[in-house]
Copies of this chain bind each other. A is one copy, B any other.
Amino acid sequence: MEPEHSAAILKQLNLKVTPRRQEIMNCLGGERSYLSADEVWNRVKPKLGSIGLPTVYRILDELAVAGVITRIFLSDRKQYYFLCANQGHHHHFVCESCRRVEDVEQCGLDGVSRDIARRSGGRVTSHILQINGVCGTCCQEHAEVML
């Protein structure tokens, strides 16, 4: 992500344009997979000289609240963050081998929502869908690997 791009986004959010914020956005923008807060920390530390972990948490939280990045909750109780260029509603296919994330456009949720509304009058406000597997590349390279 170019500095001007991140600067523009930050200004639009009424956040000051600081090296820490730009570097974190740049870091996530260059990744195809989810990163935890401390993974982001380790990646931006060398480029910034130093940065505190709480700062990383604060910036990630701001960006997630603003909707610039997505928070991912996995079963290990750690939070992961992902900057996805795709703006529309979609989900992720996560490769268990290389952690790469692919977009999944379709999800059967429209049907489910309609079903719930029809059956019990309920309303769906959010849903968590994550598809785990092995991506095409890893399937070929490590055909025998199973985790």
Q: A residues near B, CB below 8 A?
A: 71, 73-75, 77, 79, 93, 95-96, 102, 104, 106-109, 111-113, 115-116, 120-140
Number of copies of this chain that the complex holds: 2
Assembled-state Cα–Cα distance A77/B71 (Å): 12
Contact status A129-B129, CB under 8 Å: yes
Assembled-state Cα–Cα distance A57/B9 (Å): 44
Contact status A116-B128, CB under 8 Å: no
Least CB separation from A147: chain B residue: B125
Residues in B neighbouring A71, C-beta threshold 8 A: 75
Residues in B neighbouring A107, C-beta threshold 8 A: 108, 112
Assembled-state Cα–Cα distance A93/B124 (Å): 8
Residues in B neighbouring A75, C-beta threshold 8 A: 71, 73, 128
Contact status A136-B121, CB under 8 Å: yes
Contact status B128-A128, CB under 8 Å: yes
Residues in B neighbouring A126, C-beta threshold 8 A: 131-133
Contact status B109-A136, CB under 8 Å: no
Contact status A121-B139, CB under 8 Å: yes
Contact status B140-A132, CB under 8 Å: no
Q: Answer whether A109 and B134 are a contact pair too, CB < 8 Å, given A73-B75, A75-B73, A122-B95.
A: no
Contact status A134-B122, CB under 8 Å: yes
Q: Answer whether A131 and B112 are a contact pair too, CB < 8 Å, given A75-B73, A120-B136.
A: yes
Residues in B neighbouring A109, C-beta threshold 8 A: 108, 131
